[in-house]
Every structure is written in C-alpha cells, then in structure tokens.
C-alpha cells in the first residue's frame, strides 16, 4: 500500500483447506476512510473465472460435453469458451441498460457473423464471453450462472460471492477510483482501444468499459458473467479451493484437468501486443500472468484483480484492489505476494511460488 499503487486492497490464500492468509488494508476511497474487513469488490474479469468454475461443475456431472457443437457450423463448447468464437464485440450499439437484457444480448450475438472463422484464431471476448458461455450453462444446467454459483459452491450459505448481487449488500461494495498513470505500459493496446475501426476499439468501447461503468449499482443486480461478479477476497479464494482438494471439493481432478488443458496460446486478435494463453474459460500461466507457474489456472481482472488455483501445491489465491491500473501485466502489489518464494515455471521460465506458506497471516495490511 505504501508505494501508492492502490488505495486499498485485500488478499487471501487457502493452502490445503486452511485459510493461511487473510489480509486487508489501505483506504476505502480518497477520503481516507479505512478499508473495511468486509469489503466487497466488483471483480471485473475475475468473474469469468467464477463462471468457469460453474461450467467445470457441469462438465463434471456430464451436463456439458466440451466437445459438443454449439452452432450449426460445428463450433465446439471448448472453442466457444476459449475466445475462439470470433465474437469479441457487439456489432450493434449496446448501452449500459442493454447489458442487463440477457435474452437481447444472446440474440444479438446469435445473429452476428463472426469476425474470423471460429477455431482458427483467438481474441479476448471481454464482455461477450459471459453471454456465450452463460447461455451454454443456462441451457445445459437449466439455471443461470449466478444461481448455479450459489447452489453448487456456497454450500454453507456464507460465501460472499455473487453474479447478480442482492441489493441488501450494495453498501459493502467498495467503489473504484481513477487509475494511476502508467506511461508506456500496454501502450499498443491502449492506442488500439482509442482508434476507431479496430477490433480492440469495438471490444472495449461498446459500451465503454471503464471503472465507472461498474461503479453503478444498477449493474450489480443483473447477471453479466464476464464482468460484474461481486466478491470478497477470502470468498473468491475459497471458490478456487473447491477445485483443489479436501471435503469442500466440488469438481473432480479429471474435470479440472479438462478445463485447464490449453486451448489457445499466442497472439491475441484483441489485445494486439499481448500473447494470451487460455484453457476452457480460464487463463493459464504465461509470462503475462505467471500465477504459480505450470498447472495454475484462474483469471485476472481490470487493473490488478487476480484469482487462481494451483492444485499441485494445494493453493488457492485471490487479490482484490480498489484502484485499477491500466496495465495488462500483474500489478506490483499483487506481484509482491509471489516474490517471497522464487521458483520457475516449466512453461515460461518466470518466478512462481513454492508450496510452503506462512503458518497464518491475518489482519490489516499497512
């Protein structure tokens, strides 16, 4: 917190079923009001990871076959769920209100022609992935992503994690602050996002995706499963722990291995200068986001959020912050969590964390 990157943040780590790190600190906002222990955050794209866990649970029960076609031209579920569908942006103008119209968004995407032949390339589907995968979930599981998240993962009812936030929790949500400047970081992506007639511009400007968009409580209640999940750090880490080991396990190791199997790796049609690596929904370890190296799977979110699991070491991790950074790389605050235990990722030769963790770390960050 002292380096000025974040106003406030929280971090939680589960290790083989024990909550070994549970820390929070900083300020709620520019007023300097202390960051509360029960802070909730809009998770931005960490929501995709929660959606991925729901999809994995349907794979585990046999309700979803990742190799089944979802379109007449044979696009497979795993291709649709790994940014290969060629539908990263809405063709028609979309307003904030339109995002809350589930059937309308699904219908728009169903009628669009893909930007590339599905399965031949990949590009980050920032908002549209939620409707594409979410509709597969709804049709296969008979319920929405948010409903299944609560039913299958909030087993004792105390999980502070929602896609579709009940209004009685609105006052716990920490608003986002303006991002601090980071000249030169992600410059190519930023330039493309500001340049009309580029795919990057279409993806991030229809509607304009900023911190302010999801500071509006109107967008916390509907389900937008690529972006508007609301979590606290300890609950987001616990969600990922349910696919690691122990009595809380919801998804079998076989199904975990299926969803974390690499589907794409390389140049991203939307993020332009950022090679990306995805399994089915989940981001996988790569130089851009190493997590704990080989075997890690999860998802980051706008400006520094990060949540993931690493079954090989028994670790589930979540970091949430209230001042987004416009950088495509892990933020310094989150990276500091990993530098204490250096090893190297088999695939990327980047630092990762070893499985030995502190006996217990709890309380306010300073």
Domain membership of residue 3 (yes or no) is: no
- Calculate the CA 31 to chain-centre distance: 28
Domain membership of residue 181 (yes or no) is: yes
Strand partners, 362: 22
Cα→Cα distances 190→29, 31, 44, 64, 301, Å = 25, 29, 18, 37, 16
| Structure confidence by residue, pLDDT tens digits, 206-260 | 999 887 899 999 999 999 999 999 999 999 999 999 999 988 899 999 999 999 9
Is residue 45 within 8 A of residue 299, CB to CB? The reply is yes
Q: Return d(Cα 155, Cα 151) in angstroms, integer.
A: 7
Strand partners, 42: 230
SS3 60: helix
What is the reported pLDDT for 210? Answer: 80
CATH number at residue 24: 3.40.710.10
Q: Return d(Cα 305, Cα 325) in angstroms, integer.
A: 10
What is the reported pLDDT for 186? Answer: 55
Is residue 347 within 8 A of residue 287, CB to CB? The reply is no
Q: Domain limits at 339?
A: 8-365
In this structure, the strands spanning 343-344 and 315-321 are: unpaired
- State both tokens at 122: 């990949």
Cα→Cα distances 300→39, 92, 283, 323, Å = 18, 27, 8, 14
Q: Return d(Cα 120, Cα 171) in angstroms, integer.
A: 45
Domain membership of residue 123 (yes or no) is: yes
Closest CA to 78 of 158, 156, 136, 144: 136
- Predicted TM-score (pTM) of the model is 0.89
Question: Is the omega angle on the peptide bond into residue 207 within 30 degrees of 0, that is, cis?
Answer: yes
Q: Return d(Cα 175, Cα 203) in angstroms, integer.
A: 24
| Structure confidence by residue, pLDDT tens digits, 153-189 | 997 778 999 999 999 999 999 988 766 544 444 566 7
Read off φ and ψ for residue 277, nearest 5 degrees.
-135, 120
Is residue 303 within 8 A of residue 321, CB to CB? The reply is yes
Q: Return d(Cα 28, Cα 244) in angstroms, integer.
A: 32
Query: Could you say which residues of the chain have pLDDT below 70?
Result: 1-6, 178-188, 324-366
Residue 320, burial from CB neighbour count under 10 angstroms (0-12, 13-18, 19+): buried
DSSP class of residue 35 equals: P
Domains in the chain: how many in total? 1
- State both tokens at 301: 């979110």
What is the reported pLDDT for 239? Answer: 97
Domain membership of residue 1 (yes or no) is: no
Residue 191, burial from CB neighbour count under 10 angstroms (0-12, 13-18, 19+): middle
Closest CA to 45 of 347, 281, 258, 235: 281
User: DSSP for 92-122?
Assistant: S---HHHHT-HHHHHHHHHHSPPSS-TTS--
Domain membership of residue 278 (yes or no) is: yes
Cα→Cα distances 164→96, 98, 206, 220, 222, Å = 15, 15, 21, 6, 5
What is the reported pLDDT for 179? Answer: 60
Domain membership of residue 231 (yes or no) is: yes
Is residue 50 within 8 A of residue 223, CB to CB? The reply is no
Domain membership of residue 293 (yes or no) is: yes
Q: Is the dihedral of CA 149, 294, 78, 314 positive or negative?
A: negative
SS3 31: coil
Domain membership of residue 346 (yes or no) is: yes
């Amino acid at each position: 917190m002292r380096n000025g990157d974040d106003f406030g943040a929280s971090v939680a780590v589960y290790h083989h079923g024990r909550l070994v790190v549970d820390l929070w600190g900083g300020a709620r906002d520019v007023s300097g009001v202390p960051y509360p222990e029960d802070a909730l955050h809009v998770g931005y794209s960490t929501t995709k990871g929660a959606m991925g866990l729901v999809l994995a649970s349907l794979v585990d029960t046999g309700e979803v076959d990742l190799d089944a076609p979802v379109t007449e031209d044979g696009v497979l579920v795993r291709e649709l769920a790994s940014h290969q569908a060629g539908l990263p942006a809405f063709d028609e103008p979309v307003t904030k209100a339109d995002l809350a119209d589930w059937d309308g968004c699904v219908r728009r995407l169903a009628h669009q022609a893909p930007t590339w032949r599905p399965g031949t390339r990949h590009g980050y589907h920032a908002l549209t992935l939620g409707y594409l995968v979410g509709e597969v979930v709804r049709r296969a599981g008979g319920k929405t992503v948010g409903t299944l998240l609560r039913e299958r993962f909030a087993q004792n009812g105390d999980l502070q994690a929602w896609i579709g936030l009940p209004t009685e929790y609105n006052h716990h949500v920490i608003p986002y602050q303006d991002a601090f400047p980071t000249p030169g970081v992600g410059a190519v992506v930023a330039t493309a996002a500001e340049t009309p007639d580029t795919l990057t511009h279409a993806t991030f400007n229809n509607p304009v995706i900023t911190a302010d968009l999801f500071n509006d409580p109107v967008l916390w209640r509907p389900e937008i499963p690529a972006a508007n999940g609301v979590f606290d750090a300890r609950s987001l880490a616990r969600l990922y722990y349910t696919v690691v080991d122990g009595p809380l396990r919801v998804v079998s190791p076989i199904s975990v291995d299926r969803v974390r199997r690499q589907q794409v790796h390389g140049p991203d049609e939307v993020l332009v200068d950022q090679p990306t690596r995805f399994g089915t929904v989940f981001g996988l370890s790569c130089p851009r986001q190493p997590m704990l190296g080989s075997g890690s799977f999860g998802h980051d979110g706008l400006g520094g959020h990060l949540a993931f699991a690493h079954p090989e070491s028994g670790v589930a991790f979540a970091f949430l912050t209230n001042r987004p950074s416009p950088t495509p790389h892990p933020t310094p605050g989150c990276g500091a969590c990993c530098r204490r235990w250096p090893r190297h990722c088999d695939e990327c030769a980047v630092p990762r964390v070893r499985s030995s963790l502190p006996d217990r770390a709890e309380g306010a960050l300073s």
